[in-house]
Amino acid sequence: MTGKLFESFLLTGLNIRKYGHIKTCKELAQEGAKALTIDEGRAKGAVAILDETIFRKIAKVEARARNYMKSITVPWSSSRNNENGSRISGNEYLLSPDVLVEYEQQMTKYRQEWEGLLEKELFSKWDKLRSEAPTDLNGMFQEHFIPLDELRKRWEWKVWIKPLLDQSNIANDVRIKAPQEVIDRAVAEAGQQQAARISNAVGSIADSVMNEVKEIVDGIDSYIYHDGDSRKGNHLPKAKGWEKLERMAERIDQWTQALDDQSLTDAASQIRDLVAEIRQLGDGSLKDARAVLSGEDDSKRQNVRKKLTDIQDTTAPAMNRLEDFLG
């Protein structure tokens, strides 16, 4: 299985380096501690030395780029749960060579938009911002208003793409010169890390399926028939919802050929069958998908709901791989 994986995909990621405009302020922390009557060691103070609006605009472009990247890749580096229980992905993603040209073109567009915003909103105004800083900030933080050429160097956008290497084969690397015990331990650790990453990739796909299916199930569960007005309180999926689920099946087919997870393969087949059934309930297309499920007769909705929960059950083993990995 792993051989096909390493032959079929690339690794990619997006690294962004930027100028930090939030600066710590000891005086503010001291005042805050006094106001709250707490120990100064527990108080933190910070000041935005530049208008937050600039950085919000830039951050939106960065978020769109990352969301796009995540939409056509699968996480490879280890995910983790943050303190709130939300899953945070690492910065390594599996990329299919089939979408490489599209990916590079789209990420280039995002980079150009990002660079354009920097030029328009920050670099072109920097001399003015520097001259106004002593007044705006009461003479503080002036050391952070560096020359423009230095400021430019603080910003970098780098999309990287590299081969996906099979780490479990490091024992065959002729460059390794170490005692066999050390090599064996390194091979074992590499194999464990690689297995975890594969579980992470499979589980991430399963997580996407579960979320999409749950949204449709929730729409069915919350639906209440209203005679004469099928729109009122109607959260049943429109054509776009079913099309999104259908595209997910196509994505599963693409990835599971290399990841070799039978539960996801079976789930993709069930999704295609269900979407085909939704088409048959209408006029052969999905444009009437909501209307055909919005009638007074609840049996159609419950039949669809049952098939959706079957998809969830089929997907569960793949989801368990992610949960086991996250611990």
- The tens digit of pLDDT for each residue in 100-142 reads 999 999 999 999 999 999 999 999 999 998 898 888 877 788 8
Q: Give the CATH number of domain 171-326; options: 1.20.1510, 3.30.160, 1.20.950, 1.20.120.
A: 1.20.120
Q: What angle (nearest 5°) sits at the alpha carbon of residue 191, between those of residues 259 and 313?
A: 40
Predicted TM-score (pTM) of the model is 0.73
Instruction: Give me the pLDDT at residue 136, please.
Output: 81
Instruction: Give me the pLDDT at residue 61, please.
Output: 97
Q: Are 46 and 291 in contact (CB under 8 A)?
A: no
Instruction: List all residues 6 or more positions away from 58 whose beta carbon is below 8 Å from its beta carbon.
Output: 18, 114, 117, 118, 121
Q: For the chain, which residues make up each domain, given as ranges?
A: 2-165, 171-326
Task: Count CB neighbours of 243 within 10 A.
Answer: 14
Residue 178 in tokens: 């170490």
Per-residue pLDDT of 265-313, as tens digits, reads 999 999 999 999 999 887 888 888 888 888 788 898 999 999 999 999 9
- d(CA 235, CA 217) in angstroms, rounded, equals 10
| Amino acid in the structure at residue 298 | D
Q: Are 208 and 271 in contact (CB under 8 A)?
A: no
- d(CA 117, CA 314) in angstroms, rounded, equals 46
Sign of CA dihedral 128, 132, 137, 140: positive
Q: What angle (nearest 5°) sits at the alpha carbon of residue 118, between those of residues 114 and 123?
A: 160
- Determine whether 317 is exposed, middle or buried from the number of CB atoms within 10 Å of its CB (0-12, 13-18, 19+): middle
- d(CA 215, CA 238) in angstroms, rounded, equals 12
Instruction: List all residues 6 or more positions away from 69 whose beta carbon is below 8 Å from its beta carbon.
Output: 12, 14, 93, 103, 107
Instruction: List all residues 6 or more positions away from 282 whose beta carbon is below 8 Å from its beta carbon.
Output: 288, 289, 291, 292
- Taking the chain (327 residues) in runs of 10, the rounded mean pLDDT of each run is 69 92 74 76 76 92 95 77 52 89 97 97 92 82 88 95 74 64 74 75 86 92 73 76 90 78 92 93 82 84 94 88 50
Query: 20 — alpha (psi -120 to 50), left (phi > 0) or beta?
Result: beta
Q: Are 154 and 19 in contact (CB under 8 A)?
A: yes
Sheet holding 93-95, edge to edge: 73-75, 93-95, 10-17, 156-163
- The DSSP secondary-structure symbol of 76 reads -
Instruction: Give me the pLDDT at residue 322, please.
Output: 53
- Determine whether 7 is exposed, middle or buried from the number of CB atoms within 10 Å of its CB (0-12, 13-18, 19+): exposed
